[in-house]
Amino acid sequence: MNKQQLANKIWASANKMRSKIDANEYKDYILGLVFYKFLSDNEVNYLRSIGWNDDDMKTLVEDYEDPEATMMIAYCKNNIGYFIEYKYLFSTWLLPNSDFSVADLSAALNSFDRLISTNYKHVYANIFKTLQAGLSKLGENPSSQTRALKDLIKLIKDIPTDGSQDYDVLGYVYEYLISNFAANAGKKAGEFYTPHEVAILMSEIVAEHHKDKQQIEIYDPTSGSGSLLITIGKSIGRHIADKNQVKYYAQELKENTYNLTRMNLVMRGIKPDNIDTRCADSLDEDWPLQTMGSDIGKPLYVDAVVSNPPYSQHWDATDRELDSRFKNYGVAPKSKADYAFLLHELHHLKPDGILTIVLPHGVLFRGDVDADSEGEGKIRRNLIETNNIDAIIGLPANIFFGTGIPTLIMVLKQHRDSDDVLIIDASKGFIKEGKNNRLRACDIKRIADAIRERTPIPGFSRPVSRDEIRRNGYNLNIPRYVDSSEAAEQYDIYATMFGGIPESEINKLQTYWDALPSLRADLFQPKEDGSPYATVKSKDVAKAIEENVDVCNLKQTFANAFSDFGSLLHSRLITNVSTVKEQNEQDDIADDIFNRLKPIPLVDKYVAFQALSDNWQVIAGDIETIQSEGIDAVRVVEQAYKLVKKGDEEIEVPDGLKGRILPFELVQHEKFQAELDAISEKQAEVEEFTSSLEELRDGFTEEEGQAYLDEDDNTKFNKNAIKADAKAKGDEVEPETKVKLKEIVSLWDKITKLNKNIKEDKAALLQLTIDAIEHLSNEDIEFFLHKKWIDPVCGGINGTLSSVFSALEKSVTALEAKYALSYNEIENNIVDAQKELSELIGQLTGDEFAVKGLQELQNRLKNWGKSSSLISMFPQAGEVKPRVRFKGFKEDWKTVPFDIVFRYLKNNTLSRADLNETLGSARNIHYGDILIKFGTLIDIRKDDLPYITNHFLANQLTNNCKLQKGDIVFADAAEDSTVGKCTEITFIGEEKVVAGLHTIPCRTLFEFSEGYLGFYLNSPSYHNQLLPLMQGTKISSISKSALLNTSISFPSSIAEQRQIASFFRSLDTQISLEAQRLEKLKQIKSACLDKMFV
């Protein structure tokens, strides 16, 4: 396993094992045990390096009467800083005959504390205090505590600690565990963890500032787990030849978190001499201080200070006016220590040092800035006047665990050459992950580049002069200087009334017209009357863009710029795979991408960089594996595993085989496509036969359904009954029915035979794949690594240009849609719709007053019109006829059980995260869209259904449960009584559509007029049946079994069904037109507000 796979495995098991222990506490136990393993293995590895073997290790005892034992204690303490007896070594506890118990660990920790070298006390003293104190929480008694510890020991035994690169593996696993515990610790996470992406951003800023230095001292006064400090050190280390020239100072108030800092630093291979830590309050008394020479006791100055202090914390501000840290700037208020931390850190900067600190936005504007005032306003004013603030970076909200408040990074220096402040609004650049937002690699690089270049970027960054800040009363609130908000939608009065696209709005796409001069004329046709309005020329905007000469030229320029890019990556990453340094290589490749894009307009270089970054983790993981195991790792086929639930536990079980580096699918698509196609053809036959079975089932008469369908689920066959009656002799079964039954049995036989063949073919293909991987030539390896690493990066970069054209198409289409229907056209449509509705109302008869009310509807259309009609035009409970119906129809309506009308179809459980609005091979009906977005009827030409993002999954779902015209889809959950709302599919065309999360899709067993069921099932006449069947309090739900307790009412006459559907469609059209007219009036008002004020 590479480090990512190892970390994933350990986290999954650890999270399962912690049971009811709070994540914030449990992390201290498992991370403490990981650190003990590190120290134990470190001692063993050191002794092996001087020639010791396993038998020698057994002589490691604490026996002061034995001269040799006493000598070894002193030897270990002098060389590694501590001594661990053989019986307390982690490796001893893993031996088959080990009788390890919780008492052994407790004794081992006590022994460790006693046997620390005096010179190493500052690093190791009391470092296991939290682990020692928490052992009792691992179980109710020593026996259960021992079981829990044995599980933990087995869990972490695979973490390697015996080589130079293993510091990175160990550190990665440790960081991964910390970050995942943070995600599960809620608000407490802020006490010990800064999200890795924020730490990376801060480290990039610091590393750029000190890139020419060969010796660095860095300090974090609120160090938490130490992750931020280590990330900074790692980034700085890229520019320093000797990583031992980085010294770390860390201070942390909470003892358990302080211990995490020390563990984390030691496990990264940092020498104890380069670690100086302190468990204390950074604000209570100044630290770090000089410890030698004539300046002993005076403040120690460092090259960089980084911190993520607790936000707006209370502190003791009493008598701080003369404190050297605060006296030149002011004292932070006792209720908000943000500036107290900042000034403490600034105080410890060298003249050429740099400070990056995470703060809440309040520090930018809180407090009075008058000269005679005290508090945050005065401090801010003094920081600006003494020219300390270099940059302010507004971060996205919800980026830190446990808090949703927006935060910022402030960059400060003791001495600067310029007196402006760079303001950056980076709040819009992120990706959402669960409840939190996360900075992407491209967001981090965009910010870091803006800091380095200090050039104005509209809507993102701007250097602001000190004079401008003074004029704004020293208020640094980011929106005062950088406006990243989207412009409000504006409307043209003339275009809203009469149609046409304003040239002024086409001009807003000027960046495209500048880069592609002929494209505007290919897309837009100016009005012949000379007015400043235009229309879209082509019905196919995408095709018009695709065929434009300037677009073709730009595509060619782009292709030329990256013509040798794949070869370059191959040489750097594959040819030199054994020696490549992945972090430095990523930086060099990024620079190369940026250089290639310099002459190319429209393409965002940071989007192209993200294409590299998205694939880099896979590439880096594979490189790590190859460098540690050799190129033969690519030829390895190994056991795959998966987690399955067994009782209350999840256990890891074998799940077939996999390539250590190469996915089977990749090899199969390149070497065995013919075999894959043959399997696919047989699977298609199975699907075809399965579809035939469904058609036969749907064609059953009512009597056949009762005899040959499952009593509990009418979508399933009663196999025993069908097989028995297919063989029946004589007249026991109707001839027509017997033909159906024999065909069903024949199809079953064919499917069974095909499935057997498919299974055999898959097994043969699997063996071919294994043999191919295990016998790959070196040329084959290079070919497949290129396919896995290089092709996705090149494809992603090529896609950046395609996305530019897609964005333009979307903008042009949106402009066209914005003014597609003018106010005048809506008025004319309303007249036509009212005429149609009037004709339909004229055909109604029945309840005198209901008919009068509907006639009045011609003149006074209200939303209640449709609702009232829904009540009147369908029978109520106990009725056999509606109160109002169309002339010429007199027969009683039928009322039958739900399962006589419908059979259930399959749905899927895809959430919003699995869907997108732009691209895919299949569409998905989500229950939320049924409740809010869709009307009674769905027409795929008009209604915007989201796509399924995963192409393979989309095809799989549509093979099993594709919807068709006439199908009904219920929403089975809602926050109110709208649960049970449904929609009927009236047009689907060639599109593939499936029913998604919290839906119940149904198909009718006999013919209904289009639209009838959609309106009936959403009427009070039917929905009132659902109300007593709903379950739940906060969330209401309706089940399939509950629907079976309802009945369906309908007229036998298809013609009457058609009339009813036409009437409600006409009402919907009228309502829609009125809504459009109202929206147009709002647009006209918006346009007038824009035009009528200065």
Say what the pLDDT of residue 863 is. Answer: 39
The residues facing 643 across adjacent strands are 652
Q: How far apart are the first and last CA of the chain?
A: 67
**DSSP helix, strand, coil percent of the chain (3-state; round to 5):** 55, 15, 35
Say what the pLDDT of residue 1041 is. Answer: 82
Query: Parallel, antiparallel, or unpaired: how do β-strands 407-413 and 389-394 relate?
Result: antiparallel
| Residue 550, C-beta contacts closer than 8 angstroms, at least 6 positions apart | 515, 516, 517, 518, 519
| Residue 841, C-beta contacts closer than 8 angstroms, at least 6 positions apart | 851, 854, 855, 857, 858, 1063
Say what the pLDDT of residue 861 is. Answer: 46
| Euclidean distance between CA atoms 332 and 315, whole angstroms | 9
Say what the pLDDT of residue 40 is. Answer: 95
State the pTM of this model.
0.78
Tokens 């500048």 identify what position? Answer: 514
| Euclidean distance between CA atoms 349 and 275, whole angstroms | 18
| Euclidean distance between CA atoms 602 and 597, whole angstroms | 10
| Euclidean distance between CA atoms 651 and 1016, whole angstroms | 49
b or e along 638-652 (b: 16 or more beta carbons within 10 Å of the residue's beta carbon)? Answer: eeeeeeeeeeeeeee
| Residue 349, C-beta contacts closer than 8 angstroms, at least 6 positions apart | 301, 302, 304, 305, 355, 412, 413, 414
Angle at 402 between CA 482 and CA 13, to 5 degrees: 130
Query: Parallel, antiparallel, or unpaired: how do β-strands 533-536 and 524-526 relate?
Result: antiparallel
Is 1027 within 8 Å of 1037 (Cβ atoms)?
no
| Residue 416, C-beta contacts closer than 8 angstroms, at least 6 positions apart | 387, 388, 390
b or e along 599-635 (b: 16 or more beta carbons within 10 Å of the residue's beta carbon)? Answer: ebebbebbbbbbbbbebbeebbbbbbbbbeeebebbb
Residue 1023, CA distances (Å) to 46, 857, 872, 874, 1047 in order: 76, 24, 14, 12, 11
Say what the pLDDT of residue 129 is. Answer: 92
Q: Count the alpha carbons within 13 Å of 132 in the hemisphere toward its beta carbon.
A: 13
User: Quick one: how many helices (H) and strands (E) in the chain?
Assistant: 43, 31
The residues facing 659 across adjacent strands are 637
Q: Count the alpha carbons within 13 Å of 1032 in the hemisphere toward its beta carbon.
A: 15
Low pLDDT (below 70) residues in the chain: 1-6, 12-20, 23-24, 161-172, 174-175, 181-193, 371-372, 401-402, 643, 645-652, 854-855, 857-872, 960, 1033, 1094
Looking at residue 793, its amino acid is V
The residues facing 650 across adjacent strands are 645
| Euclidean distance between CA atoms 794 and 559, whole angstroms | 11
Say what the pLDDT of residue 1067 is. Answer: 82
What the block records as the tokens of 413 is 């220096």
| Euclidean distance between CA atoms 329 and 317, whole angstroms | 14
User: Residue 55: how many CB atoms within 10 A of its CB?
Assistant: 7
DSSP 487: P
Say what the pLDDT of residue 866 is. Answer: 47
Hey, which bits of 111-169 come out as E strands?
none
What the block records as the tokens of 799 is 């896609």
The residues facing 536 across adjacent strands are 524
Determine the angle formed by the axes of helices 23-49 and 102-114, rounding to 10 degrees: 60
| Residue 1080, C-beta contacts closer than 8 angstroms, at least 6 positions apart | 496, 821, 822, 823, 826
473 — phi, psi (to 5°)? 65, 30
The burial class, CB within 10 Å (0-12 / 13-18 / 19+), for 891 is exposed
Largest CA distance in the chain: 116
Tokens 């029913």 identify what position? Answer: 995
| Euclidean distance between CA atoms 22 and 38, whole angstroms | 25
Tokens 């409000």 identify what position? Answer: 488
What the block records as the tokens of 551 is 């677009």
Give the tens place of pLDDT for each residue, 228-243. 888 888 888 777 878 8
Say what the pLDDT of residue 19 is. Answer: 63
Question: Which DSSP string corresponds to 707-724?
Answer: HHB-SS-TTSB-HHHHHH
Question: Which DSSP string corresponds to 410-477?
Answer: EEEESS-S---EEEEE-TT--EEETTEEE--HHHHHHHHHHHHH---BTTTEEEE-HHHHHHTTT---
Hey, which bits of 221-348 come out as E strands?
246-252, 275-279, 302-307
Instruction: Kindly state the helix (H) or strand (E) to which residue 654 belongs, with its residue range.
Output: strand 649-659
Residue 637, CA distances (Å) to 107, 654, 767, 774 in order: 43, 14, 11, 7
Query: Parallel, antiparallel, or unpaired: how do β-strands 246-252 and 982-987 relate?
Result: unpaired
Say what the pLDDT of residue 148 is. Answer: 85
Query: Parallel, antiparallel, or unpaired: how do β-strands 349-360 and 302-307 relate?
Result: parallel
Q: Count the alpha carbons within 13 Å of 963 in the hemisphere toward its beta carbon.
A: 31
Looking at residue 484, its amino acid is S
| Euclidean distance between CA atoms 674 and 352, whole angstroms | 66
Instruction: Kindly state the helix (H) or strand (E) to which residue 640 belongs, with its residue range.
Output: strand 637-646
Say what the pLDDT of residue 164 is. Answer: 44
The residues facing 1003 across adjacent strands are 903
Give the tens place of pLDDT for each residue, 665-716. 999 999 999 999 999 999 989 988 988 898 888 778 878 888 898 887 777 8
Say what the pLDDT of residue 363 is. Answer: 95
Q: Count the alpha carbons within 13 Å of 856 in the hemisphere toward its beta carbon.
A: 11
Say what the pLDDT of residue 865 is. Answer: 40
